[in-house]
Structure 1
Amino acid sequence: MVEGQGSTQAPERPLPPHVTTPLLTLITARSMDEDYAHVAQKRAAAGDVRPRTSRPHWTSVLAIAVLGVLAAVVAAQTDRQAPVDELSRAALIEQIDSRSAELRSLQAQVGDLTRSNAALASRNTTIQGQLDDIGTRVQRAELNTGHAVVRGPGVRITVDNAPDAGVDNEVLDEDLATLVDGLWEAGAEAIAVNDQRLNVLGGIRNTNRAIHVNGRPVLAPYVVSAIGDPRTLQARLLETSQGQQWFGLVNGYGFLYEAENVDDIRLPAAPERALRDVIELNADPDGGPDGEGSTP
């Protein structure tokens, strides 16, 4: 190489667009360019060289107009309906307040009724206890007065006239009364003669030759049933004055006498009788109050 002479190099040329452009973009552009070129050639062949401007279709204009009218109608109805909606909202709020007040009133009534029910239940329990106590007292009074059916262990005594007894040697009402009084004194709790329960309102009476108990005739043999302690009742009868008198009658008149202990004796209730001459302690015979401390 000779010094002083420079070497020359050809400048590099840029790559063509079809090389640098992405393949997908290139395909899309070329297809659209070819379509536009084809349409332009057809128009030129037909002699139409004026550029075409896009005009809106009349249906689109009509649709836009309809939408505008509908929007205006909706806006007008909304403005017109606003006062009605406000009134409806106020009425609804008023109804809610009214129903809330009614609910509070009903809740207060429920509370009052609950407390009243609890008070009534407590009172009912008290009254029921009083009724049970009264029932027990009535039952005890019925047992003591003979107006209730009773059962229990005791003694059954059979009494009959002597086999060869005459009219003057028969068992009389007073003889049976002596035996009954002796049994009461010996500890008997309930007594019946031929299933006729004895109490303070009944009695043993002679009518001619027949003996009547509680006003009903009874015939020999006479069965005297007494509820009490069977272990001691007969022995105590012998110790009482009425019992000794009775056994004296048995030996003197030859009455037939047979006694046995029974584990279970059932006695009926005494018949009820109306009180004719008994008045309450705090009432006068005329029916007016006459208690202690009252002035005549």
Structure 2
Amino acid sequence: MADTRAPEQGEDTARRLPDHVTTPLLTLITARSMDEDYAHVAQKRAAAGEQPAPSSRRPHWASLAAVAVLGVGAAVVAAQTDRQAEVDELSRAALIEQVELRRDQLRGVQSQVAELAESNQALASNNTKVQAQLDDSEARIRRAELTTGYSAVHGPGVRMTVDNRPDVEINDEIRDEDLALLVNGLFEAGAEAIAVNDQRINVLGGIRNTNRAIHVNGRPVNAPYVVSAIGDPRTLQARLVQTSTGQEWFTLVNGLGFLYSAENVDDIRLPSAPERALRDVIELNADPDGATEGEASSP
């Protein structure tokens, strides 16, 4: 019973609705437009005393034209909408293609950035390693310069002054081997750097006699001879006396009557030894003029 009554109630409701609600919009606009035109014409005739026109309804040309214009406008709008949809779709596809292209380019740039960062890290690591090697080389060079005497140095030590006695005979004067004995004894006692009259002692230098003159590093020095030695001033003189070379030196001082004095100094400054070009040695593994490996060539 419920199923049969529901449609009847819907039909009754539709019959009770006014015409302007159930009539299609385009039909309603046309009908109302024509009704208003007929009403306007009827009012004019009534005012003029004329009989009203027959009640048959005829469509007004202006209404038909309006309907036609509306239809044409709707068709144009629909066509333009279709075309714009195609354009929008093409634009959207182009934008998507550009986005994908930019993403590929971005991935390529990110890959390059990662490679450059890795290369930069490797270079930084290598630079740190090279810098450490350089620092080690510089430290070794400084140590070598100190050891060989080719670097000026300063530090605490002992300053000794040696001179001939006033009435000394020629045979009893201080000679090169006497000064060499003192220098060797000081090195044996722990001296780190020694100079005679500001001439630095090193492996390429030496103390030599030329007639009565003494030469250090090939340069003449005169008495009194000032021997400056950098080392521990608390122990250097005592150790010199304990060495066999030092005992031999003091035997000469007492036997030949050398004038000898020594003092501890808080800061002694010694110059670097003069550089000398190597003429009689060649680098190992070199083979100049058919020389054998490691062989020294004579000038």
Aligned residue for 2:183? 180
Gaps of 5+ in 2: 1-43, 53-59, 295-299
- The answer on whether the counterparts of 1:162 and 1:169 sit within 8 Å (CA) in structure 2 is no
Higher Cα Rg, which structure: 1
Letter in 1 for 2:229: A
Q: Deviations over 1:162-210 (max 9, x none)?
A: 2234554443322211211221222222111122211111112233443
1:130 aligns with 2:133: yes
Aligned residue for 1:158? 161
Alpha-carbon spacing, 1:248–1:78, altered in 2? closer, same or farther (3 Å): same
Aligned residue for 2:120? 117
1:193 aligns with 2:193: no
Aligned residue for 2:268? 265
Structure 2 matches for 1:219-230, cutoff 5 A? 219-230=222-233
**Shift of residue 144 of structure 1?**
1.9
1:213 aligns with 2:216: yes
Considering fraction of residues, name the structure with more helix. Answer: 2
Aligned residue for 1:243? 246
Q: Distance in 2 between matches of 1:224 and 1:142?
A: 20
Alpha-carbon spacing, 1:214–1:47, altered in 2? closer, same or farther (3 Å): same
Aligned residue for 1:30? none
Gaps of 5+ in 1: 1-42, 292-296
Q: Distance in 2 between matches of 1:261 and 1:63?
A: 128
Letter in 1 for 2:100: D
2:277 corresponds to which of 239, 258, 274: 274
Q: Distance in 2 between matches of 1:67 and 1:221?
A: 131
- The answer on whether the counterparts of 1:158 and 1:221 sit within 8 Å (CA) in structure 2 is yes
Mean alpha-carbon deviation: is it higher for 141-150 or for 185-194?
Answer: 141-150
Q: Deviations over 1:80-122 (max 9, x none)?
A: 4444433322222111111111111222222222223333333
**Shift of residue 287 of structure 1?**
8.1
**Shift of residue 213 of structure 1?**
1.6
1:202 corresponds to which of 202, 205, 213: 205
Mean alpha-carbon deviation: is it higher for 98-107 or for 127-136?
Answer: 127-136
TM-score (norm 2): 0.66
CA RMSD of aligned residues (A): 3.8
Letter in 2 for 1:221: P
Aligned residue for 2:147? 144
Q: Deviations over 1:268-291 (max 9, x none)?
A: 222222222223344445489948
Q: Distance in 2 between matches of 1:204 and 1:285?
A: 32
Q: Distance in 2 between matches of 1:173 and 1:210?
A: 9
Aligned residue for 1:31? none
Q: Deviations over 1:127-152 (max 9, x none)?
A: 33333333333332222222223332
1:92 corresponds to which of 92, 95, 115: 95
1:232 corresponds to which of 219, 231, 235: 235
Residue correspondences, number: 248
Taking only the aligned residue pairs, the percentage that are identical comes to 73
Mean alpha-carbon deviation: is it higher for 88-97 or for 161-170?
Answer: 161-170
1:108 aligns with 2:111: yes
Q: Secondary structure at the match of 1:258?
A: strand
